[in-house]
Structure 1
């Protein structure tokens, strides 16, 4: 049996057979290495797959992986941000058109929303139920200047923000959520914890303390949360399931 003591051998590169033999001696998936490629190689307990990849390919391949990983993550983020932007912009445009069509006719406006919801749902799916179409109208009325919207925020963010009573609250949470990259759940948590009111009620030192506390407790939103947002799935007319068939994505 191979020794558990790491033996740094300068300039020595183990063959694939030697590494395989070393790994095969430990059935629990973890291994004490005897060999390493250089002074920075991992020595000690490591996962089987990661150890094999590092020993077999070395630092150059690892760097290639990291570069590719960044490319994929950034591209994925831009793609999902584009979906969000187009959806929010479309809903603003829909709300604007409804307000223009309704004019001062409140009763007509109610029937109009029902009519539009029924027809849009038949053609584009459940993202256009009466409640959501009503929120589109309110969205335009709440944010009549489209350029004031923050492209980082989703429709779920805006539905939460629209429920706030004052324009000052809405602007504060809109900017905080965008600047700090809050998910919609994190935004909801901060609204329910009266983050805005706590900041207003304290001295500047206390405000700094509150901001520090929030940043420490609230992780930044993950990109993959966007595609799991049910409103995004409805907008794209995709099933609410993580496993999509290729034909659904065409």
Structure 2
């Protein structure tokens, strides 16, 4: 990351103030590429306005709210999702034994708090601070934020939470208490997305793990165009039925 001074000052948002255009986010030559603005509030209207423009909050304890629009953007095209052969076998075995159940929105607050307390390689703390938890619980109560939960042997084993506006899905964070539980949740989400013609899941940050599952980088201008078009579509009803597994398990698209 470059340590040269930014080419322009970072905008400070007052509560209710509109976001600047995403093209004004800091560039590669700035200290934090993709950083768009600071300040504002984490209320429902602000968060909906942010995600409607492909902007997301991400900050640490002791910092103001920081708003980001990265370029390029890590995305997962649901048609390109790679279900590794070992995970496919695990899902099919658990389903055959009657031990696996996927639930949507059964325990959203439990999921986001579990994500907040998950220890991750290379991170000394969490960006899912109490204020973020409270904000996304309120967003969940409005039907915008959702949890995808992997239940194994009647216990919550892992999951993820995400945002859905129109035909656009924004993945936020995952956790596992048992091996592969978060990957199962992601596979279930992809099956749901395929069933409802939701073509893209935003992943925000580029990681080798996401790339191994089919994630790729997308230029911000292309991503922004996709978001604008996706918002024109209706939002699906969020529930999971076993038939959605057919959109994942019936394909011969597994990888070694």
Q: TM-score range by the shorter chain?
A: under 0.3
Question: Which is higher, the Rg of structure 1 or of structure 2?
Answer: 1
Structure with greater contact order relative to length (CA < 8 Å, sep ≥ 6): 2
Using structure 1 for the length normalisation, give the TM-score.
0.21
Using structure 2 for the length normalisation, give the TM-score.
0.21
